[in-house]
Amino acid sequence: MHQHEHHHHHHSASCNCGCQHAHAPAAAESQHTHTETCGCGHHHQGDGESEGDGLADAGACNCNSVETSCGCGHHHGHDHQHHHDDCSCGHHHHHEYGHTHAEPGSREAAAALAAHVVEEPLVFRIEGLDCPDCAAKLAQVVRRQMGVIAADISYAAGELKVYADSALDTQRLQQIISQLGYGSQLLADPPAVASAKMRIEGLDCPDCAAKLELQLRRLPGVTYVSLSFSNGLLAFAPATAEARILTAVERVGYRGLPLTAKVENKQPSSFWLKNRRPLLTLVSGAFLVAGWGAELAWHNPLLSRVLFVLGMLTGGFYVARSGFYALMNRSLDMNFLMTVAAIGAVAIGEWHEGAMVVFLFSLGNTLQAFTMDKTRQSIRSLMELAPKEALVRRDGVEMILPVEEIALDDIIIVRPGERIAMDGIVRQGSSAVNQAPITGESIPVDKVEGDRVFAGSINGNGSLEVIVDRLVADNTLSRIMHLVEEAQSQRAPSQQLVDRFAAYYTPVVIFLAVAMAAIPPLLGYDFASWFKRALILLVVSCPCALVISTPVSIVAAIGNASRHGVLIKGGAYLEAMGKVRTIAFDKTGTLTLGQVRLSQLLPIDCDEEALLMVAAALEARSEHPLAQAIVRAAQERNMELPPVVDFQALTGSGATGWVKGHQFWIGNQRLVEQVGLQPTAAVLEAVERLQTTGHTVVFLLDAKHIYGLLALADEVRPEAISAAAALRQAGVQSLVMLTGDNSRTAAAIAQQVGVDEVLAELLPVDKVEAVNNLAARYSQVAMVGDGVNDAPALAAATVGIALGVAGTDTAIETADIALMADDLTKLPWLMRLSRKTVGIIGQNIVLSLAIKGVVLILTFMGRSELWMGVLADTGAALLVIANGMRLMRNR
């Protein structure tokens, strides 16, 4: 029995393995379906390759030691001292455990939500966070508390999300946080968090968005506010505060649109028609030109000043109003600083400078808002792909219904050329369907009865009847859009670094501006010239261009990837993919098609019919790809299979059962050794010959004889060879294949594909260790698998990439990156996109800093003007946005 240093905190299942599982299951399938369990609440999926690997039903506690590992996808950081107690997990362990699991993050939380283990999280606002590393350590402490299933902290937002069960004592948790030196405030109970959402239009600067969020948090009766600049989404609670929030948003010059179905389904109107600022900006520009004309051509100073003032009033209306409300909320945003700059220019007699500053700032904000709106709209346009109504046959009557009224098991009729309105299964008909909006596949896919179709895909020439199996809010297209928006709102590592720099940059420059306005005049220098320099410093103190340099690039890249059938779960994974130097591949279903077929029967002590009949009878109880291929072969020969008694799956080797009163074993060569038989030289020669040609060999035997061999083969994906070559051109140093298959078969497949290294005959838990070893050698490692069987290894990698997961809930939720189609050629494209994104982010940071640095130097030298400061701010922001938007066109 294990000796523990801590306690279990499972939500539903008690664990006997001795681990402190302070996290949700690694996949949504957390219900045990086997008889011998480790008791830890995880569904231990198999390898999907070597016979029996996919049947880890008798699995071990699997703590990721050398001897055995659970394969749950977590890094168990502990050492083992051994003893002989039985932990009831199905293995004889020779050790004591002191388990401390690595920190679970958003993937575990997502899996817990997907499995309905928890509802929405508790959200705490943490005061006193001054370092990302300290924030990570705080989250680690929280995860260890009783009742905590998962915890995720945002250093930038100062928020801690806790996914917990009913055993959590929130007061005790807050006391622990206080003991660590931080203040905490519970924002809302789980159901109240983000109880309503609205879209904010006109956001043009991350710094301004952060200050707007701060203002909204201070509204009376508002318990929760979270505003994402990247996608313009505002989540708040309670829903009854909507009117107050709308008023506050409109006061500062933005437009709020509640996310009702009616608003979401409406075609978006033109940016220039739905915003007043562009019109006022044009009027301001007209007054500015007229003022210059009055001053230069007509030599009328009074008229020119009146026109300049009118230009400032029209162009600066929204600016001044936003600045005023920011000041009322004890916040100095860019609008306030720009208002001060304009008033200061008038105060020292620089009327045209004041008018030009206001016009340029208003124009810059308008163009920024337009380009960001265009970027965000490119993602929202995904929802426009699905029709708003469909032809439904219900109770024998055909009717056209809005998609919101279509229920599960309804039958929709899709005519030739129409877009499919709902996810479902083809009931009748056949057609070629264009799935490019979902999977990125350029060639239409043939659909027949029993095949799955997705909302937003385009039907070809045939007519289809589709049984609806997902509601409109839960279809694949909706989930993709939701996950993309969530990904865009997450801060990438480079963005966190920039945000930290900006937090110091702004107050430092404002302090310099105040000092420049006050100290030189006291020393006898000209007040007007130094005051003007101070105003220029105020203008360039906003870090907007710097702060926007990363998110605009991330938003554009993630949006582009989603349109190509690549779902990236966050900027961190996009950046990490660009640093990957080695990629590990699962074999079956990833490098190969996964459509295994029985190619040869080699009877030894029986005839072919008896060999196949007994083998198929045993394998009929298994869902392993090899087993299914054997059963299909028996079905093709119309064999009647005898019943099997006392069937038992044998982890990593095969299965056993009684057929017609005789016990048989079926499995790989490891099983033959376990039973205690020694194959003859002729048998070994046949096995070697088959394996060398890429076959997997399955043995049928009893306690005394080997009855025969079954040779099965899987075909290499047609695009695997070209994808491997393209990955090397993209800069990947090493390609590795991880498989549970035998080494000869694995080597044959690897030679065809062009893989550098092969690790064969791996149990599911061995793949996790292999990925960890690769990470130790290459630092950054990506793992590509089928998204379900390879979940542990995917979780252990720096970036987990699931292949061909369109419509698969678990894989979409748990993978870091999901390739919606079975297309390996998307991998080199993804590598190029990632590296181009990282490069553009670097360009944007350098560009924004360089422009501001030049203006700061010129200001200290007395060579700059106010309009230069505006260009250094809004002009640099526009350049950064334009540069980032190039990623939307990356092909």
> CB 451: neighbour CB atoms within 10 A?
15
Smallest Cα–Cα separation from 573: which of 884, 767, 837?
A: 837
592 DSSP assignment: B
Note whether 44 and 15 are within 8 A (CB).
no
Radius of gyration of the chain, Cα coordinates, nearest whole angstrom: 32
- The CA-CA-CA angle for residues 865, 869, 875, to 5°, reads 130
Number of H helices, E strands in the chain: 31, 31
Per-residue tokens: 646 = 């006392």
Phi-psi region of 557 (alpha: psi -120 to 50; beta: other; left: phi over 0): alpha
Please report, for residues 431, 434, 437, 577, 804, the alpha-carbon distance to residue 444 in angstroms, rounded to integers and kept in the order given. 9, 4, 11, 29, 16
Give the 3-state secondary structure of residue 726: helix
Q: CB under 8 Å, gap of 24 or more: what pairs does 292-296 form?
A: 292/352, 295/352
Q: Give kind and range of the element (H or E) at residue 298.
A: none
**3-state secondary structure string across 211-239:** HHHHHHHCCCCCCEEEEECCCCEEEEECH
Torsion angle, alpha carbons of 788, 790, 795, 798, to 10: -130
Chain centre distance of CA 740: 28
Specify the amino acid at residue 409: D
* Distance linking the first and last C-alpha atoms of the chain: 57
Distance CA 760, CA 777 (A): 19
Distance CA 338, CA 323 (A): 8
* Pair type for strands 734-738 and 757-759: parallel
Per-residue tokens: 738 = 């991880």
Distance CA 639, CA 641 (A): 6
Catalytic choice (207, 333, 499, 586): 586
Half-sphere exposure at residue 332, Cβ-oriented, CA atoms within 13 angstroms: 15
Angle (deg, nearest 10), helices 317-328 and 351-380: 80
Distance CA 216, CA 211 (A): 9
Contacts of residue 464, Cβ cutoff 8 Å, sequence gap at least 6 = 413, 414, 420, 426, 428, 429, 430, 431, 447, 453
Distance CA 53, CA 654 (A): 8
Phi/psi of residue 466, nearest 5 degrees: -120, 130
Residue 678, judged by CB atoms within 10 A of its CB (0-12, 13-18, 19+), counts as exposed
786 tagged catalytic:
no
Note whether 617 and 642 are within 8 A (CB).
yes
- Give strand pairing partners of 96: 81
Specify the amino acid at residue 57: D
Residue with tokens 């690897």: 750
Smallest Cα–Cα separation from 782: which of 745, 843, 735?
A: 735
Note whether 349 and 859 are within 8 A (CB).
no
- The catalytic site residues sit at 586
